[in-house]
Structure 1
């Protein structure tokens, strides 16, 4: 469906990952080896939090309907700025139209959200799920994607207080409404969400066959494994990535996030929690 990447760590020029990695997100937009579609050319988005921004700062967003491989502005931005936390998403549109308001990541106040996957039977469940959004949040739904509706459902159900529980409640709502409309497998996807300080990444599907998701191992450990790897010197000790598919083929660099798991990245490292596991 799509490919995405999230970075948390010491301030970094995003181009280091977005453009320069062997299997960068831009390379994946042209030729994805693990994606449901090989080409993800239906627009892209880049969202970032400024360096040294206080807690609660709103992220900046750049969206384009051009393919990521064809957009010079993405190259200019990612080479010019420094950020300790950023998201990048390349889109393969399933049904909603190609327009800027349908490009991820989505934003509400200090929260940022992106998704790879789909709500099953969207045309059947769209009305019920949209009406479940808090009326005060509804005016902020600017596009037509199922992903943006899910984000606002999670906001409605307490994202600011407990992201893992809120995303879980939002997906359970999707499954409940889907089953009411005879949708066998209502939910499929990986999700990234951030408050500007941490990143929560989720892997879950109703069928138990979710799209791929990985995060990087600790940089100090990787330097011990690969003492001659010049590229690792570009990253600080706190640097972590979450990706739809690995950016390199170096053994030991990438840890697969298990099915029905939430991976929490925060200063000091990462941890896994069971997510909607039966």
Structure 2
């Protein structure tokens, strides 16, 4: 299972084609839509095929690294809250290339879910004080023993401890020339 809650700015204008160029043939033919989520997942699958010894977490870090390279080249912004599981391991990310980000929270062994780790875009119950903010630019890995580890995600856009503002979007509107 794969989930993405976020955005790749200018996805259809420039990033979609750039990502497609990195998707391996066996997965390219399975692209059915035009969403950034579908393309990210197929890029991840391609990386797993190219480098089969990578763990899920390592392949996710490589996916984000490649998206960073493309975003820098094409002037796009990334907000990547993602979750992925193979049924045994769960990998969750909260990543952004800009100062704006999507929220993400988690709780571990809360009164409502005593034997679980729950991740959600908002706390399911604001009265439950066990909910914690998921750290920015971090990957959470949960193994089959329900053990949690947090891994920092390298961010090349971070300068002097700060992320840049979102890039302004400029639209070029062409009008027919008058004779």
Aligned residues: 151
1:63-112 Cα shifts (integer Å, max 9, x gaps): xxxxxxxxxxxxxxxxxxxxxxxxxxxxxxxxxxxxxxxxxxxxxxxxx1
Q: Structure 1: how far apart are the matches of 2:99 and 2:139?
A: 14
Confirm whether residue 129 of structure 1 aligns to residue 19 of structure 2: yes
The corresponding residue for 2:98 is: 207
Question: Runs of 5+ in structure 1 lacking a partner?
Answer: 1-111, 223-231
Aligned partner of 1:144 in structure 2 is 34
Distance 2:60 2:127 in 1: 32
- Which whole-Å deviations, capped at 9, do the CAs of 1:144-194 have from their partners, x for residues lacking one? 10111011111111286322222222222222223222x1x4311200000
Instruction: Say whether 1:115 aligns with 2:4.
Output: yes
Which residue matches 2:152? 274
Partners in 1 of 2:73 and 2:147 — Cα distance? Answer: 40
How far is the alpha carbon of 1:272 from its aligned partner? 1.2
| TM-score of the superposed pair, with normalisation by structure 2 | 0.75
Report if the CA contact (8 A) 1:238-1:269 is conserved: no
Over residues 36-85 of structure 1, what are the superposed CA-to-partner deviations in whole Å (9 max), with x where a residue is unaligned? xxxxxxxxxxxxxxxxxxxxxxxxxxxxxxxxxxxxxxxxxxxxxxxxxx
CA distance in 2, matches of 1:179, 1:125: 10
| 1:170 matched to 2:63 | yes
Q: Secondary structure at the match of 1:151?
A: helix
TM-score (norm 1): 0.50
Structure 1 runs (4+) greater than 3 angstroms displaced: none
CA distance in 2, matches of 1:156, 1:244: 28
1:55 paired residue number = none
Match of 1:264 among 141, 150, 163: 141
Q: Which has the higher strand share?
A: 1
Query: In the alignment, which residue of structure 1 is the partner of 2:176?
Result: none
Instruction: Judge conservation of contact 2:18–2:70 (CA < 8 Å) in 1.
Output: yes
* Deviation string, structure 1 residues 111-138 (Cα, Å, up to 9, x no partner): x101111112112121121121011111
Task: Structure 2: give runs of 5+ residues left out of the alignment.
Answer: 157-179
**How far has the Cα of 1:202 moved from its partner?**
0.1
Which deviates the most, 157-166 or 202-211? 157-166
Give, in angstroms, the shift of residue 208 of structure 1: 4.0
Distance 1:242-1:188 versus aligned 2 partners, 3 A rule:
same
Matches of 1:142 and 1:259, distance apart in 2: 31
Distance 1:136 1:187 in 2: 26
